A and B are shown apart, each in its own frame.
Chain A
């Protein structure tokens, strides 16, 4: 029984004591059963920490599956749409997986930790599907979400912060690479990955060392303007760089109830992750068919006129509604009013002009705005330092 009658029933991450102390706004949200901060101090300041110095995000609630055993690679290759055999040891791959109908269930990052030893990080909890998919394979799947504490350290000074903390040689780590360090007599795994589209790292450690890690990181990063960030700032950053969010930009197929509400990788612009040359994988047949017959929808990036974010807008062609916006934001660094929308496939070519029907409110007064927008090929934020090795140590 909890000591306080108003104690939350939510789970706490291994960093909770530090997160709670830093959370001046006391704004919390739920993430897979964990309580996580929406913002600590000010969303804009946190966002600018990501873009100009270093932002630290507690990503411990991220679902983590450990997949090992003699058939681990074969198993994953049947599970996800890209060729897992091409992801070398100590490398990370962005992967997506589909059901038999070729509809997106989720996306995630796959960490190749050793021979036939992987960690899959995902948004959804899909143990049932993972177990079904394991029939006929000699694999062990363990949900290690609560056994691994994780921090995202993102931004132009992130490498400098971490080096200052003693992680020497980190600047040589290539994007999607993994490097192991010793921290407090345990292993600290660092991957050059993230959800911000910038230079950045993710740190993975046993939960009992989480608080020490946080303390040392913030001590080392003090002069680099390190700052904890909440989910709102992160969301802004990921939109600016064009990263999809499961549950927002597509509904995981297993959660859809109505026919036609799920989406295929082609419809989400992820065809580069689908490899028909590799052995059988879930969704292959349906996706092959779709690749021949064409898709119904298309996720597009829109450059929207004006500065009103086109959140939840209808997309129009003349009077006809041809799509809806799934994510939208005024992106401060790129200085762009940017949106992701799902539109009927025939309206998706780059350069196409569409209309966003935007509603916004000022002091209880609603205004409707028809903003011109243009389909663009890529998201506006994509700095060279994201890919540079050695990483900048500014």
Chain B
């Protein structure tokens, strides 16, 4: 007899989604989370007295509607403070560009660019719909796939064919080139090109000229297929997603233990038989599902000596060095951005004036240095949700790229310098910002790794690139959520389809486990 049917290691949103689905199907499930707060990268953090932000992910752009519905997340308290926000590319002179669903506007945007954007939006949405279909299914195995795998592969092929000859060949062409070239082909306005291309490199160790960036862009646009017409802000911060998921999981009798880390996954020969907590407590289960990223799972929890060499090697080869930092500011009042109205301040603000600016921000990251002129994705969520800051005061949250995990000089000595530089950069668009700042913090990828236990502080638990997606994610041989260790599954962002607060990795993993049925 085991204590549980399934133990899920980690209460990140995917771990909770997986647990809730499994419990809904009648499994007795325990979730063990190292942090006090559930949600993993979907967390809210009070970083200064009375000031809270989304500590890691700050926009809800991707949450899968089926997951939301199946787990009744709205019923369990998930509410949006704002949705369908615009992305505003900031211009130092105030000539901003606004991307609003399928249209784009701004004083510097030509009619040609407007029309070109509509066509681009139509076409990419079509591609992203195809991706969305693939996201729902477990990725087929390439070799020795069974019938349903072959069917899934055929569906994907058919989906491509059904797009029509022109779009299909365009997809095949685009998939492997870079977003820089695509932008150059289609648009004139520098700021527009930069604003759009930044979506292709968010969370990635890539510049606009890197391969895979078109895929990165399409990946983001899958949110559109899920009914998001631009980013949304969760009430109470991203922790609201975690909290609603805990409620949903509880309603299916999932037991959640937070504030206690799993020391290791216990094995008998090459089968998982439970977990040992820090402190020594042992809990057994028929299956263990890890929400931790694949490197943490195998390096730390399973231990490389307990798996075969080929597997250890594949784990080692996963590319997952985070390059995004998070800046949090407590503000004494609402900052003023040149040329932005108060209403516009609540939108997604992007600092990336040109594609070369992003590329040049990326260059130092290749050599273990941070950008001296970083690109940024900024949110002032207190404009939509007064609970995040005391009355009249505000919080600002920014995703900052690039801040490489393995900083050559080491983050201890460099962090404060980098933080001042980032604040100064925003202040170029929002003069007087520095005077409003009453508290601030910068989370480097090293901090993110420590806080959220994601190896390398990587957004997706592993780079999203063509060699690490679908039947290659997280690595060949572990692509259908199961692993070479019998009874051990993966359900985090490191698995197909990947990161972002989406819930599909967790859902797909649960479906696969339920499908395989046999718990013995």
**Do residues A284 and B270 form an inter-chain contact, with CB atoms below 8 A?**
yes
Q: Are B310 and A99 in contact (CB under 8 A)?
A: yes
Assess whether A136 is in contact with B310, with CB atoms less than 8 Å apart. no
Residues of B within 8 A of A283 (CB): 308
Which of B204-212, B298-306, B328-336, B389-397 participates in binding chain A? B298-306
Contact residues in B for A378 (Cβ distance below 8 Å): none
Roughly how many angstroms separate A75 CA and B312 CA in the complex, as a whole number?
13
The reply to whether the CB of A393 lies closer than 8 angstroms to some CB of chain B is no
Residues of B within 8 A of A74 (CB): 305
**Are B305 and A100 in contact, CB atoms less than 8 angstroms apart?**
no
Contacts of B269 in A (CB 8 A): 279-280, 284
B341 at interface (Cβ–Cβ under 8 A)?
no
A136 with B270: in contact, given A129-B309, A282-B309, A282-B310 (CB under 8 Å)? no
Residues from chain A with Cβ under 8 Å of B312 in the complex:
132-133, 135-136
Give A263-300 interface residues, CB cut-off 8 Å to B: 279-285
Interface residues of A, dominant DSSP: loop
Contact of B67 with A by CB under 8 A: no
Q: Which residues of B contact A137 (CB under 8 A)?
A: 304-305
Closest to B316 in A: A135
* Residue B417 lies at the interface, judged by CB distance under 8 Å to chain A: no
Q: Is the CB of B308 within 8 A of A280?
A: yes
Q: How far is the CA of A137 from the CA of B309 in the complex (A)?
A: 12
- A75-B309 Cα distance, complex, nearest whole Å: 11
> Closest CB-CB distance, A355 to chain B, in whole Å?
35
Please indicate the chain B residues that have their CB under 8 angstroms from the CB of A280 in the complex.
267, 269-270, 305-308
Among residues of A, the one whose C-beta sits closest to the C-beta of B305 is: A136
Complex contact B311–A136 (CB within 8 A)? no
| Known contacts A132-B313, A135-B313: A285-B299 contact under CB 8 Å | no
Residue pairs across A and B with CB atoms within 8 Å: the count is 54
Do residues A285 and B303 form an inter-chain contact, with CB atoms below 8 A? no
Give the shortest distance, in Å, between A105 (CB) and chain B (any CB): 10
User: Does A136 contact B484, Cβ atoms closer than 8 Å?
Assistant: no
Q: Which residues of B contact A99 (CB under 8 A)?
A: 309-310
**Hey, which chain A residues are within 8 Å of B316, CB to CB?**
132, 135
CB-CB < 8 A to A51: which residues of B?
A: none
Kindly identify, within residues 176 to 221 of chain A, every residue whose CB is under 8 Å from any CB belonging to chain B. none
Who on chain A is nearest to B299 by CB? A136
Taking CB atoms, residues of chain B closer than 8 Å to A78 are: 305, 308-309
Q: Which of A129, A136, A284, A285 contacts B304 (CB 8 A)?
A: A136
User: Size of chain B's interface in residues, with CB distance under 8 A?
Assistant: 17
Q: Taking the nearest CB of chain B, how far is it from the CB of A277, in angstroms?
A: 9
Contacts of A135 in B (CB 8 A): 304, 309, 312-313, 316
Chain B residue numbers with a CB within 8 Å of A282 are 308-310
| CB-defined contacts of B305 to chain A, threshold 8 Å | 71, 74-75, 78, 136-137, 280
Known contacts A136-B303, A136-B305: does B310 contact A100 (CB below 8 Å)? yes
Q: Which residues of B contact A101 (CB under 8 A)?
A: 310
- The chain A residue with its CB closest to the CB of B311 is A100
Bound-state CA distance A79–B305 (Å) is 10
B306: A residues at CB distance < 8 A: 279-280
**Which A residues are in CB contact (< 8 Å) with B307?**
280
Contact residues of A between 95 and 146, Cβ < 8 Å to B: 99-101, 129, 132-133, 135-137
B304-352 with Cβ < 8 A to chain A: 304-313, 316
Cα distance A385–B337 in the bound complex, in angstroms: 94
Q: What CA separation (Å) do A32 and B312 show in the bound complex? A: 28
- The count of chain A contact residues (Cβ–Cβ below 8 Å) is 21
Bound Cα distance from A101 to B309, whole angstroms? 11
**Residue from B306, B308, B310 with most neighbouring chain A CB atoms (10 Å):** B308
Interface membership of chain A positions 210-244, coded 1 if the CB is closer than 8 angstroms to chain B and 0 otherwise? 00000000000000000000000000000000000
Residues of B near A285 (CB, < 8 A) are 270, 308, 484
CB distance from A187 to the nearest CB of B (A): 32
List residues 51-95 of chain A with CB under 8 A from any CB of chain B. Answer: 71, 74-75, 78-79
Specify which of B270, B299, B309 lies most central, judged by the most chain A CB atoms within 10 Å of its CB: B309
Do residues A133 and B270 form an inter-chain contact, with CB atoms below 8 A?
no
Residues from chain A with Cβ under 8 Å of B310 in the complex:
99-101, 282
> Distance in Å from the Cβ of A239 to the closest Cβ of chain B?
32
Are B309 and A132 neighbours in the complex by a CB distance under 8 Å? yes
Distance between Cα atoms of A132 and B269 in the complex (Å): 21
Interface of chain A residues 131 through 167 with chain B (CB within 8 A): 132-133, 135-137
A74 to B305, CA, bound (A): 8
Chain A residues, CB < 8 A from B270: 280, 284-285
With both chains docked as a complex, state the minimum distance between the C-beta of B225 and any C-beta of chain A, in angstroms.
Answer: 38
Bound Cα distance A133, B303 (Å):
13
CA distance A100 to B483 in the complex (A): 13
A369–chain B nearest beta-carbon distance, Å: 42
Q: How far is the CA of A132 from the CA of B305 in the complex (A)?
A: 11
Kindly state the separation between the CA atoms of A132 and B307 in the bound complex, as whole angstroms. 12
CA distance A8 to B171 in the complex (A): 57
B22 to chain A, nearest CB (A): 25
A39: shortest Cβ distance to chain B, in Å? Answer: 39
A100 contacts B308, C-beta separation under 8 Å: yes
- What chain B residues lie within 8 Å of A100 (beta carbons)? 308-311, 484
Residues of B near A79 (CB, < 8 A) are 309
Q: Is the CB of A284 within 8 A of B313?
A: no
A393 and B311 CA atoms in complex are apart in Å by: 51
Chain B residue with Cβ nearest A98: B308
Measured between beta carbons, the chain A residues less than 8 angstroms from B299 are 136
Closest A residue by C-beta to B143: A259
Which of A74, A137, A284, A285 neighbours the largest number of chain B CB atoms within 10 Å of its CB?
Answer: A285
Specify which chain A residues have a CB less than 8 angstroms from the CB of B304 in the assembled complex.
Answer: 135-137
How many whole Å from A124's CB to the nearest CB in chain B?
15
Docked pose: A278 CA to B270 CA in angstroms: 11
Q: In the assembly, what is the distance between CA of A137 and CA of B305, in Å?
A: 7
B303 nearest in chain A by CB position: A136
Question: Which chain B residues lie closer than 8 Å to A281 at the CB level?
Answer: 308
Identify the closest chain A residue to B298 (Cβ): A136
Report the nearest B residue to A71, measured CB to CB. B305
Query: In whole Å, how far is B296's beta carbon from the nearest beta carbon of chain A?
Result: 14
CB neighbours (8 Å) of A71 from chain B are 305
In the assembled complex, the Cα of A101 lies from the Cα of B316 at a distance in Å of 19
What is the CB-to-nearest-CB distance from A69 to chain B, in angstroms, rounded to a whole number? 13
Chain A's nearest CB lies how many Å from the CB of B425?
A: 40
A71, B312: Cα distance in complex, Å:
17
Bound together, the chains give a CA A241 to CA B316 distance in angstroms of 43
Separation of A279 and B307 alpha carbons in the complex (Å): 10
Interface of A with B (CB < 8 Å)?
71, 74-75, 78-79, 99-101, 129, 132-133, 135-137, 279-285
| Chain B residues close to A by CB (< 8 Å) | 267, 269-270, 299, 303-313, 316, 484
A-B contact pairs, 12 of them (CB 8 A): A75-B305, A78-B308, A101-B310, A129-B309, A135-B312, A136-B303, A137-B305, A279-B269, A280-B267, A280-B270, A283-B308, A285-B308
Besides A129-B309, A132-B312, A280-B306, 9 more A-B contacts (Cβ < 8 Å) are A75-B305, A99-B309, A100-B311, A101-B310, A133-B312, A135-B316, A136-B304, A280-B267, A284-B308
Identify the 5 closest CB pairs spanning chains A and B, nearest first: A136-B304, A100-B310, A133-B309, A100-B308, A282-B308
